[in-house]
Structure formats: structure tokens, C-alpha cells
Amino acid sequence: MAPAGDDALWRARRLSWRRQFRPALALYDSLLAAGDEPLVLLREKARVLGWMGRYGEALECYGETVRRYPDSAAAAAEADAKAALYDGRYRDGVRAYRRWLDLEPESPEALFDLSQLQYGQQRWADAIALTDRLLKEIPGHDAARQVRRKALFHAEGTPLYSEAVFFHSEGGTRQAELEYLSIASSVARPLNPALMAAIKVDTRFYRFSGSNPDPMAITTSAALTYRRRPDAAVEGFIGSTMKSNGPDNTVTGGLGVQSSPLDDLHLAFRYRHGDVVENAATFLDGLSENSLTVQTLYRPSRKWQAGLEGFRSWYSDGNVRTDYGVELRSHLSYEPTRLTLFWRWDSFGYNQEQPDYFTPGTFNVHHAGVDAIHYFKGDALYGGGNNTSIRMRGSLNFEPSGGRSKSVLAEFRHDWNDRLSSSLLYDRTWNDESGVYSADRMAASLLWYF
């Protein structure tokens, strides 16, 4: 039972816990104006602003707190920790939260936030240990209990992922007539906290003009993934594709490495060997590739990020494809609606012309668009929370010789419970000039932990 003199403070806290943020902020402001316990009030007001996704205002409030109370080591540690959390700086965040917990060992806010940093890096054992500490202090902390359940499923459960994809493209001038239905399933099993094994079966039913019967291809693959994020994540896979029509069975495989040597720098490298299917001719000829992809992402703050990408593919017919890409993204708003503006430049080309597929010497495209995601459950905006979201993305694409195309994407995601989630997606690209190029993709997926 809170003391009678603290009734207003406890009302503000209860309002914020119920996510009634605006009346809670109004009450905190009235208490600050009255001069009641400003250190406690300023710290709690800043937390509420952060819960609302008003990160800039939250950091301003933390800055005011540190300026007014320079001798409060706990307030300074909390300000540093929150700044790292908002910007997604894992290493800085862990150090700051540990410093905060050294000063306030059982702070529910610090324990929960640190569990979020660990959950986001897929360090399940660390997230579970932190939520255990929090639940020991507050057994009724629903969010902590939820995070613990989901972390346990990831650490010990067996995920079954199934996806159906329909793809159809047309493009007489770009030799891109392709249609298929893909039905794929994979099952994975953690071998230890850092190592996971998986198998996948992907069946594709192709439809080409003039083919009788329509061909199909079944790819069976096995993968092994090592994760010690953010330092490194390594995945290798190997598989075989059996085809009902066309060339002999083929081998596919690859290796991927990701690392974040710094909190704001993310690197990725991928090698792949497999089939290249642009149209009926490339399928029947058994065109394949060995490709290398290198990606760099620089994300100095939550507000913006920049990416560079390079790709080179050596085709089995002797052709070589080279791609470059640059992307800038600016995040205008955050939870519950994330709004992002983006610009991207792509350039690709081949070293020789081929009659069976589109092989320009150089082809440059500028993309400019907007990407928006809205989360419907404002009380579950944390790692491990079950939510429902809708995503809408659109871009205008400027191609060579004054050509233009448009792209739209719509995606719906829903967590049915702790074990089951699903998604629906539709993606379309089309050129302003009829008959140049168009592509439609529809996908449905289910992820179930058992």
C-alpha cells in the first residue's frame, strides 16, 4: 500500500502501466510543477516518453535530469542505457545497463530493458536469466513472463516453417516470362545455445508457354547455423535439386557470414551455388551460377541508416553479372507506426550478351519510396510480445532512357499465440510502358514452435 502522500505519483504510475500515457504525462507534469520529488518524477516521465516511442523527448528529459542532478550516478547510468537502447547499440547498452544494475540491482526497468537487448541478439539464455530475476521481484510482471516463454521456445523448441509462394512475371523485351508455385517447409532443432541444424524441402511447379507437361523441381537441403551475435553468425547449407523435365539433378549450396564489429556497423558475406531460372530457356538449359554478395550497413542512430552492396555472379555459360547498390533510409516515426523514407540506386550488367535472357551491358535504376508498418497492439511492442501488424510499401523507379516503373507491397502479420504466427504478402512491380516488364508475387507462411 502506497503512503497517502504518494497517491498522485502512484496514480501516474498505474496510468502508464495501463498504457494510458497522455493522462499519465499530464499527472507527472503537474507533480513536477508542484516541486514533488523531481528526480524520481523526471526519470519516470522520461521512461513513459520512451514507452510512447517519443525517443527524442525522452532523451531531452533524461538530459534535464542529469543536468539538474549531476551527483545521481543512477540517473546518469539510466540516461546512457536508454540512449543506447533507443539507437540499438547492443554493446554500449549492455555496459550501461550493467552499470545501472550495479547501482540499483533489482530495478524492474533495467532488468526488462536488458532482457530486450539480449532477446534482440537471440541470446536466449541471458534473456531468460534476466526475466527470472525480474519475476522473482515482481511475479505479476506479464511482459517479463511473456518474454521468458518466447525465449524458451527459441532456445529449446523445434520451429516448423511452411510457406507457399506464387510468382508470375511477364516481359517480352526483358525475356522474363516465368511462373511457378512454390511450397516449402523447413524444420530446425537447436543442438546447443549457439548451434542449430535444419532441413528444408522446396517443391516448385513451373509453368512455361508450350511446355507439356509442366516441369517441377524438388530441392532438399540441410543447413547448420552458428550464432554468437552480435559478434558473428555463420550459416552453411547444401542440397540437391531433382527436376522432372530438363537437365540432370543439380547440387546447390552456400555459406553466409554476418558480423557487427561495431554497434553501428553491420557486415555480411554470402556465397551461393545454384540454379538460375529466368525463363523456360534457362531452366531447360540448366543455367547455374556461383555468386558472391558483400553488404555493409552503417546505422549511427535510430533515425537513419546507409547501406552498400556488391554482387558478382559467374554463370555456367561463361557470362558474368556484376551488381552494385546504395541505399539511404530515414525513419520519420516509430512505434506504433514506423514510417520510413528510402532511396536506392541499383546498377547491374553482364560482360556478354546472351540470346536466352536479358543481358544489358549496364542497367541503372533509382528507387524512391515510403515504407510504413503499423502495430495494432500497443501493449505488446517489445521483443517476445505477440502482435498484429500491417506493412505498406511503395516506390517509383526511374529506369534508363526515361523509363519508369512502380512497385507496391502489402504484408499482414499476426501472432496467434506464443507458438504460432502467420503472414500474408502481396508484391507487384510493373513498367509504365505496356509489355516491358511486370511481376506479381503472393506468399503465405506459418511458423509453429513445438
Q: What is the pLDDT of residue 380?
A: 61
Q: Give the C-alpha separation, 370 to 295, whole Å.
A: 22
Q: What is the pLDDT of residue 363?
A: 95
Q: pLDDT digits over 154-190, tens only?
A: 999 999 999 999 999 998 778 889 999 999 999 999 9
Q: pLDDT digits over 232-243, tens only?
A: 999 999 999 999
Q: What is the pLDDT of residue 246?
A: 60
The three cell numbers locating residue 250 = 543439380
Q: What is the pLDDT of residue 336?
A: 86
Q: What is the pLDDT of residue 434?
A: 80
Task: Output the CA torsion sign for 284, 286, 287, 291.
Answer: positive
Q: What is the pLDDT of residue 59?
A: 95
β 363-375/178-192 pair status: unpaired
Q: What is the pLDDT of residue 1?
A: 36
Contact 165, 181 (CB under 8 A): yes
Q: What angle do CA 271, 277, 283 make, to 5 degrees?
A: 125
Q: Which of 410, 413, 414 is nearest to 426 (CA)?
A: 410
Q: What is the pLDDT of residue 381?
A: 67
Q: What is the mean pLDDT of residues 5-34?
A: 87
Q: What is the mean pLDDT of residues 45-51?
A: 93
Q: Indicate the burial class of 256 (C-beta count within 10 angstroms; 0-12, 13-18, 19 or more).
A: middle
Q: What is the mean pLDDT of residues 343-360?
A: 95
β 178-192/404-415 pair status: unpaired
Q: What is the pLDDT of residue 174?
A: 86
Predicted TM-score of the model (pTM): 0.88
- The verdict on whether omega for the bond into residue 336 sits within 30 degrees of 0, i.e. cis, is yes
Q: Give the C-alpha separation, 47 to 55, whole Å.
A: 9
Q: Is the pLDDT of residue 289 over 90?
A: yes
Average pLDDT, the chain: 92
Q: What is the pLDDT of residue 140?
A: 87
Reported as a pLDDT band with limits 50, 70 and 90, residue 379 is low
Q: Is the pLDDT of residue 448 over 70?
A: yes
Q: 301 vs 48, 85, 88, 304, CA distance in Å?
A: 21, 10, 8, 6
Q: Poorest-confidence range of 107-111, 194-198, 314-318, 430-434? A: 430-434
Percent pLDDT > 90 in the chain is 76
Q: How many residues does the chain have?
A: 450
How would you label 110-149 residue by residue, b for 16+ Cβ within 10 Å and e otherwise? bbbbbbbbbbbbbbbebbbbbbebbbeeeeebebbebbbe
Q: pLDDT digits over 385-432, tens only?
A: 899 999 999 999 999 988 899 999 999 999 999 999 999 999 999 998
- Cβ–Cβ contacts within 10 Å for residue 280, how many? 20
Contacts of residue 56, defined as CB under 8 A and 6 or more positions apart, other chains included, come to none
Q: Is the pLDDT of residue 5 over 60?
A: no
Q: Give the C-alpha separation, 187 to 163, whole Å.
A: 12
Kindly report the three-state secondary structure assignment for every residue of the chain: CCCHHHHHHHHHHHHHHCCCHHHHHHHHHHHHHCCCCHHHHHHHHHHHHHHCCCHHHHHHHHHHHHHHCCCCHHHHHHHHHHHHHHHCCHHHHHHHHHHHHHHCCCCHHHHHHHHHHHHHCCCHHHHHHHHHHHHHHCCCCHHHHHHHHHHHHHHHCCEEEEEEEEEEEECHHHCCCEEEEEEEEEEEEEEECCEEEEEEEEEEEECCCCCCCCCEEEEEEEEEEEEECCCEEEEEEEEEEEECCCCCCEEEEEEEEEEEEECCEEEEEEEEEEECCCCHHHHHHCCEEEEEEEEEEECCCCCEEEEEEEEEEEECCCCEEEEEEEEEEEEEECCCEEEEEEEEEEEEEECCCCCCCCCCCCEEEEEEEEEEEEECCHHHCCCCCCCEEEEEEEEEEECHHHCEEEEEEEEEEEECCCCEEEEEEEEEEEECCCCCCEEEEEEEEEEEEC
Q: Is the pLDDT of residue 193 over 60?
A: yes
Q: pLDDT digits over 52-96, tens only?
A: 888 889 999 999 999 999 999 999 999 999 999 998 899 999 999
Q: What is the mean pLDDT of residues 222-241?
A: 94
